[in-house]
Amino acid sequence: MAENKEKNMTSKYRMVKHFDRKKVERAIKKVQKQLNETRTFREKTELEKKLYELQIDFNYILYYPKNLKYLALHPTSGGDDEKMISKRNEIRQIIKGAMQSNDLESLNKRFKEEIKLQIVEKMMNNESLKKKENKCQERDKEIIMSNLSKTIDDDFFGSEDDIDKEEEEQL
């Protein structure tokens, strides 16, 4: 189930990731070239910071969770949505932390474990919803049956025995 979702998402966002990766690779080459040509310490530190951010972007593309909708680094339209920006920054922070601890390879395992936990939670929620539905259906049946028994016991329409008694009284 999770593998199918990963496969679908991978094929769906393949081109977007490709274009993002190419843009970041070009930017990295450009900054590295500028670093080699720079003489001042201040410019070097600025370029090194920029290079580090680009490396985070590159790893963002490579290690983005395969089960989630890919949020492009360079969106053509609709990239200004606050939810998208916050989600993108959240994932970038996770990847940045993994880079600092040299633990990028374990990210995929971590994301897969999170997916499995989400699937289990959904299954548990579905089971509890089904149980609640069954309880509601049983309660509805009980209410209908009690209402039906009340209408049967109701003297408004009378019964055949009542009619027979009335006829005997008239005679």
Helix axes 82-100, 105-153, angle to 10 degrees: 130
Query: What does the alpha-carbon distance between residue 60 and residue 65 come to, in Å, rounded to a whole number?
Result: 9
What's the pLDDT score for residue 51? 95
What's the pLDDT score for residue 67? 78
Residue 50 near residue 83, CB atoms below 8 Å: no
What's the pLDDT score for residue 161? 60
Q: What value does the mean pLDDT take over residues 32-56?
A: 92
Residue 44 near residue 38, CB atoms below 8 Å: yes
Alpha carbon of residue 85 to chain centroid: 16
User: Average pLDDT of the chain?
Assistant: 80
| Measured CA distances, 146 to 41, 154, 156 (Å) | 87, 12, 17
Is pTM beyond 0.75 here? no
What's the pLDDT score for residue 30? 95
- 2 or 73, higher pLDDT: 73
Q: Where are the domains of the chain?
A: 2-103
What's the pLDDT score for residue 52? 94
**Residue-wise pLDDT tens digits, 93-113:** 988 988 888 887 777 777 777
| Measured CA distances, 127 to 7, 70, 135, 143 (Å) | 27, 30, 12, 24
